[in-house]
Structure 1
């Protein structure tokens, strides 16, 4: 085969989509999936690189985590465990659009998202972490041909070893249905009020990464994210995004620790009950559930707004002292 013939063959394969999908498609680690499929405007925030179907309801995806990230920067030379939750969210939205027939412009209402991460498998190496992701669709519900609800069970692998597992469930709504659900015009993004607490108290290095502000009660904070944050508010939303609520749950858990202690997040189970609106106080409350061992803790975090529960999260991790 001449070089020109090979080039034409490759061009035809690209046009036919053979390099992106299909059972015999090679995996690509040189580009990301489309930003709009995972609701990001910046390519730097897209962690998925390719996908292929491996069964009737099963898919295998590839992804990559950078060695350094502007927000997901875990401790002690490890990837941030919460980056697994963001990857799971991206897998769900991508598959919904690319494989399950949900049109762009439709909305996703999160029901729950959970993950367990192995800190020993999150070490950052000398190159970016290339990922293989197994996803199995569960509980697909349709009205006619339209998908209205679905769940996923997900395992994230690196180098043949599982570094995280998780599950997620979303309800899908057309623009019209979403508008009827929201009812009124949502509040605009508020002006940010910096937290009075040092970022290190919440495990963060920068003031803009803190999403909680002090209240008059121990174990209680006001949700106060920076609406200009380049990662947490990468794309326009009419409510507080779920990943902000999960970060709030982590920070509230850290807020319970005595000085000199740190937490390595290992698991979080989150149930989303209603939207957290802008410009109305949302209170984040945290209380220990139990101490499994001397170096482990589990905390229940609840968000409330206008007297209703917005979300519940059970946060677990390993505590280090000194």
Structure 2
């Protein structure tokens, strides 16, 4: 059966080079196959030591969920998606040549479909990612869908006040596993007061609002996938000068991260019971409350 084509609007991207799915087809009721092309030489989705970019898996999960909501379940373009959580496990790092092709097949099972009136209002997506016949990751996420009118009621004051403020200077790119200043999402922050649960590391969230991938369309808050990338960078900064190659990620989005208010990014090391395994808990706090969290388990190695 041929694949249905994918246009950039279905995955909420403006730049065609940032679109990962290239085709999709149904397999059975609420089950789908999506063909994804992981980019080569992309300035943001860059490999580290031959490992496929950590943020590609999360972005693949996000785009595949958006694609199916629109193409398979008839959610109109212009509706807003609120992701509550995302989790996945992936293979340890391996040389780039081991992947062979950059084409990834994603098998998706959709469940817990909830309607608001006649429209899809929420669903879970569980995904298996395969390349060259080998499973490279398993994971998924849960999201709600709201109409433009409902979103305006939820976010009206914030939409009107969503100006992008001047950002603090970033930490050096190498400290977070990056090479370009524009990709760095952390700024230095003062050390917190000593306490029994003091964080291992602490930074301020910052961003380049002209970034062509992270801000390819207007937002009234920091995008969720930017927060995921900030968590990866905080994990790298925690083990610097080594890099943290995570093999599992569990992310929870607890609220909107607003412009104009400082968001503190904190990391804590958590026990794993395995000497070779490092677990780093990342928490984002804004206005005195947690707004997102991530638990990244993996290994640390020199970059």
TM-score, structure 1 normalization: 0.86
Partner of 1:303: 284
Which residue, out of 206, 218, 230, partners 1:248? 230
Partner of 1:189: 164
Partner of 1:42: 15
Task: Let me know the Cα RMSD of the aligned residues.
Answer: 1.8
Question: Could you tell me how far 1:321 is from its partner in structure 2?
Answer: 4.5
Partner of 1:215: 189
Which residue, out of 107, 121, 136, partners 1:148? 121
Which residue, out of 154, 159, 170, partners 2:143? 170
1:131-186 CA-to-partner distances (Å, cap 9, x unmatched) read 11100001101123111111100011111111111111110000110111113024
CA distance in 1 between partners of 2:161 and 2:26 (Å): 38
Partner of 1:77: 50
Q: Which moved more, 1:126-135 or 1:140-149?
A: 126-135
CA distance in 2 between partners of 1:229 and 1:63 (Å): 23
CA spacing shift, 1:182–1:260, aligned 2, 3 Å: closer
1:206-261 CA-to-partner distances (Å, cap 9, x unmatched) read 1111101011116111100111111111121111011110011111111211x442
Flag as ranges the 4+ runs of structure 1 deviating above 6 A.
none
1:313 pairs with 2:294: yes
Q: Structure 1 stretches of 5 or more lacking a match? A: 1-23
Question: Could you tell me how far 1:124 is from its partner in structure 2?
Answer: 4.8
TM-score, structure 2 normalization: 0.91
- Residues 81 and 266 in structure 1, CA contact (< 8 A), matched pair in contact too: no
Helix, strand or coil: the match of 1:108?
strand
CA distance in 2 between partners of 1:186 and 1:142 (Å): 31
Spell out the pairing of 1:279-298 with structure 2 (5 A cutoff): 279-298=260-279
CA distance in 2 between partners of 1:181 and 1:121 (Å): 44
Question: Could you tell me how far 1:36 is from its partner in structure 2?
Answer: 1.0
Partner of 1:234: 216
- Residues 47 and 65 in structure 1, CA contact (< 8 A), matched pair in contact too: yes
Which residue, out of 246, 249, 258, partners 1:277? 258
Partner of 2:68: 95
Helix, strand or coil: the match of 2:10?
helix
Question: Could you tell me how far 1:317 is from its partner in structure 2?
Answer: 1.6
- Residues 121 and 162 in structure 1, CA contact (< 8 A), matched pair in contact too: no
Question: Could you tell me how far 1:312 is from its partner in structure 2?
Answer: 1.1
Question: Could you tell me how far 1:304 is from its partner in structure 2?
Answer: 1.0
Partner of 2:195: none
Helix, strand or coil: the match of 1:119?
coil
Partner of 1:114: 87
Q: How many correspondences in the alignment?
A: 293
Partner of 2:176: 202
Q: Structure 2 stretches of 5 or more lacking a match? A: 192-199
Helix, strand or coil: the match of 1:268?
strand
Helix, strand or coil: the match of 2:167?
coil
